[in-house]
Amino acid sequence: MATTRRQAMMATAALLAARGAGASAAKPAPLSPPVKLTLGANTVPHVSPFQYIADEARPLGVNVEVVKFERYADTRTALASGSIDMGSIGPADVPIALSQGLKTIVALMGVGISPKNPIVAKGFSPTKWEDFAGKRVGVAPGSAVWFQFAATLIEAGFPYSKIQPINMQGAGTVMVQSLQRNDIDAFIGWEPFESMAVNQGVGVRAEALDYSKSKAVGAELGLVGVNRNFLTTQREAVKRFVWAYLAIQDRLMASKEALATAIAAYTGLPTELARSVAASMTLGQSLTLDPMKRQAATFAQLGVLTTDVSA
């Protein structure tokens, strides 16, 4: 059981050692006949390489069909059922699936990191987490950023119960609008809504505080997951997908302007807002099995998972 869980959490070390089978390696020969790969994609900046993946993978004998999803949860469900072969999911999605008895999702690789500062109302300048005592904080419970924030408070010894969490569902625009109306004092959000609030003059980044630095959850923005059966039966196609993805990633990370241009094209954001998002974002593969196990243990501690699947 433990071995199955570890394998489900992270395939990269055994499959690719990420960079070793990626764009720094020799370009792989094309598969013949070509393999079809259905990719579930969420419109978030950190997977902006997805928009180029079909063209990059086609010469390698992998025909990628992209299917869009609104929520990570929807991508996770499709990935678990096998209706898609790979997809963008949140850092918590593999432990969540495992806790539900679903062992069909394998974490293939991380996609990027960025600092995570609370977005606070102007005039509120917190320098320590205790400054949030009694403050109205907009959160999306169960989201990737909520996990990061809650884990950070635990490690800081500051009880979550000391804040006034205002639970918000739906798009991050709700958080920006709530801050603008003075309904909340701060929000724990994600891009592009963090940059949107700052660029519109609605709020500021509390740069003295960074909730991406928790030992339990870390700074990972998301994952590319793969269906276990597809990984088992089409391992060579998965390797070529990774090679293509990392080749695109290397081009986008050559400059912040290249990354901003890709983010704007993928998300539809205005160029200036895309530049703000790109400024603090680093695409890359830093996630390993150990932090994923720590995440799973912390999620159980937070009561999000009924079963600790970290073992």
* Angstrom distance (rounded) from CA 284 to CA 86: 18
Q: 64-92, pLDDT tens digit by residue?
A: 999 999 888 899 999 999 999 999 998 77
Residue 288 sits in the same domain as residue 155: no
Q: What CATH number does the domain containing 83 carry?
A: 3.40.190.10
Q: Which amino acid is residue 73, in one-letter code? A: A
Domain final position from 205, 233, 268: 205
Residue 102 sits in the same domain as residue 244: yes
Domain final position from 180, 205, 230: 205
Two structure tokens written together for 176? 């920006």
The DSSP code for 25 is S
Whether 215 is covered by a domain: the verdict is no
* Residue 18: pLDDT over 50: no
**Nearest CA among 44, 12, 38 for reference residue 266:** 44
pLDDT band at 156 (very low <50, low <70, confident <90, very high): very high
Residue 102 sits in the same domain as residue 237: yes
Average pLDDT over the chain, rounded to whole? 88
> How far apart, in Å, do the first and last CA atoms of the chain sit?
9
Q: Which domain holds residue 101?
A: 2-113+220-301
Whether 210 is covered by a domain: the verdict is no
Q: How far is CA 90 from CA 142, 151, 304, in A?
A: 10, 16, 14
Residue 126 sits in the same domain as residue 192: yes
Domain final position from 205, 228, 243: 205
Q: How many domains does the chain have?
A: 2
What's the confidence (pLDDT) of residue 12?
A: 43
